[in-house]
Amino acid sequence: MTRATPLVLAAALVAVAVAAAPVAHFAPGTVPGTLRYQVVSAGGATGDVSGTLGRLTNLEVLAGPVLEQEVVWRGAEPVATTVLTWILRARTPGPIAVGPTRVQLGDTQLFTNAVNGSALAGGHRGGGVQLLTQLSRAHVRVGEPLVVHFLVAAPPQAIGEGWEVQASFPDSWSERLPAEAGPEGGPGRWPPGLLPLGGWLVIPARSGRLEIPSATARAADWGADTDTPASPGLTATSQPVSVEVAKLPSAPAPFFGAVGTLAFSRRLVAEGTQAGGMTAVEIDVHGAGNLPLLEPPPLQLPAGIRSFAAEESHEWKASPRGLVGWRRWRIPIEAASPGTYQLPAVTFCTFRPGKSYAMQTLPALTLAVRPADVAAQTAPANHPRPESPRWPAAAVVAAAFLAGAGTVLAARAWRARGPRRPLRADDAATELRRMQLAVEGWVRSRWGVAASSGPAGWTAAGCPLADAEEAASLIRACERLRVSPGLADPAEALPALRLRVRRLTATAEASADKLEG
């Protein structure tokens, strides 16, 4: 071990007396504005070593203690020279002091002398290094890009690599810019003597005063004490700044928040489908702007078509002009009846930063809906069922218990089957539709009411509340998985749904017959 500065001093102390009390002293800090407080002791080489600072006067602790130890042999006995180091900083110019420090060497407890000194003016945090905040503009509108760069007026020894900057931007979308992104004037246009540490793209989400709190920068690779590796590197803190964020002017057409240089497109995933089948409208926006802050775009639908919650996907990267890339919404739609439907033309309105609104009109879309396949509409529950036997109450309870247990065991067995052929999305959607129709048909045939009347209407017609809730749950589950296949793996979800549908249409009728008797 070759720790020159503290250990040379330690070796001299060992020559005085091995059992003497530890000696404390101040030493200059490597980072401007800091100092080291060191406790040097000598003794046996066994046991844990720890130190507790005494009373501090006009001082604050930045780091430590850091333990360094060197063992030498005196004859057959090992002797350890131990150095404990704290990094301190004076709060204000004037007297400083550290009261007696307690040192624990194995089972032995010792105390140091008190150390006094004076702090001179100029010893403040960062050693005179200033962290500056540069804004691309002082006034922006909601959704417009604001670029925030942090720079330091650092000594020549400091380099850009290794700096860590911690910054926050409330009420905004923010993303770190690539390292090569410079000021708006282009790379190499930084003010002379300033070192750029990093930039952020900030997109304000609301109007008013945007407060940017103080940021902190730390140079992990410059200013660290070579004798004390855990001491802090060069640090600096910026002053809070604020930016005025104005509202956007009134939009001339329906507006859903698009700000930037953006273009839109839309298409039908399938221009033809059958009644009760699913298709989707995809709306794409691409370019540079406030992509993550956009709401799902408006979609006007003719009577007879209903829509479901949109599925979203995107890909973008930060740039001084905004987020560059694309975003897509896939909106599932369903037509209950056959026919030709016209989705009207739509106009998208975008605010161009520093300019005005731009509008883009997309043409109408035509959806052809053919009659549903007869097989898809046929459900076993729609056919008359033979008179169910009137089981004893105990048998009904046992049957329900066994059916529930069978659902669990069958689902487990299905998952344990190992690798299997992936289920096609079209096949899954068709089966889900059939199961949904089976439950709706059971409601109509068993209770004589339309499925659209909902659980309240079913229970009013005599359906037990538990059965009505289960039927509604099954209908919702089938719809959600059809329109949002990403919610679950069909190979995992379909077997359990099949069993639940069979159990509802088989046992609920028997239970109802028993109640009627």
Residues 332 and 430 in one domain: no
Domain span at residue 331? 260-372
Structural domain contains residue 47:
yes
| CATH number of residue 146's parent domain | 2.60.40.10
Residue position matching structure tokens 């221009």: 271
**Average pLDDT value over all residues in the chain:** 75
Please, what is the angle between helix 465-483 and helix 490-516, to 10°?
A: 160
Residues 480 and 358 in one domain: no
In terms of Cα–Cα distance, which of 504, 505, 487, 497 is closest to 414?
Answer: 497
E strand segments, 336-422: 339-343, 346-351, 357-362, 365-370
Q: How many domains does the chain have?
A: 4
Torsion of CA 353, 354, 356, 362, to 10 degrees: -30
| CATH number of residue 340's parent domain | 2.60.40
pLDDT of 271 reads: 75
pTM summary value: 0.52
Whether 418 and 457 have beta carbons less than 8 Å apart is answered as: no
Residues 394 and 492 in one domain: yes
In terms of Cα–Cα distance, which of 131, 180, 183, 174 is closest to 154?
Answer: 131
Give 119's contacts (C-beta < 8 A, 6+ positions apart).
58, 90, 92, 93, 94, 95, 96
Count of CB atoms situated within 10 Å of the CB of 389: 9
The most confident of 94-108, 332-346, 500-514, by mean pLDDT: 332-346
Q: How far apart are CA 311 and CA 282, in angstroms?
A: 9
Q: List the 102-105 sheet strands across, edge first.
A: 49-52, 102-105, 108-111
Structural domain contains residue 252:
no
Length of the chain: 517
Residues 343 and 316 in one domain: yes
Structural domain contains residue 253:
no
Of the three residues 101, 125, 149, the one that is the final residue of a domain is: 125
| Beta bridge mates, 242 | 211
Structural domain contains residue 380:
yes
CA 464 to chain centre: 44
Helices vs strands, H then E, count in the chain: 7, 30
Residues 183 and 304 in one domain: no
Residues 58 and 147 in one domain: no
pLDDT of 30 reads: 59
Structural domain contains residue 170:
yes
Given a cut of 80, is residue 282 above it in pLDDT? Answer: yes
**435-481 pLDDT, tens digit each:** 988 998 898 888 888 887 888 888 999 999 989 998 888 888 887 77
Torsion of CA 366, 368, 369, 373, to 10 degrees: -150
Residues 207 and 294 in one domain: no
Of the three residues 78, 99, 125, the one that is the final residue of a domain is: 125
Whether 47 and 82 have beta carbons less than 8 Å apart is answered as: no
Of the three residues 63, 96, 125, the one that is the final residue of a domain is: 125
Torsion of CA 434, 435, 437, 440, to 10 degrees: 170
Structural domain contains residue 145:
yes
CA separation (Å) from 440 to 73, 266, 455, 501? 90, 34, 11, 11
Residues 115 and 161 in one domain: no
Residues 119 and 169 in one domain: no
Given a cut of 60, is residue 361 above it in pLDDT? Answer: yes
**49-95 pLDDT, tens digit each:** 888 888 898 888 888 788 887 766 666 666 677 888 888 888 887 78
**396-416 pLDDT, tens digit each:** 444 444 445 454 444 454 444
Residues 216 and 287 in one domain: no
What is the mean predicted confidence (pLDDT) over 144-155? 81
Residues 488 and 501 in one domain: yes
Structural domain contains residue 255:
no
Whether 403 and 507 have beta carbons less than 8 Å apart is answered as: yes
Range of lowest pLDDT (220-234, 322-336, 482-496) = 220-234
Residues 406 and 508 in one domain: yes
Given a cut of 70, is residue 371 above it in pLDDT? Answer: yes
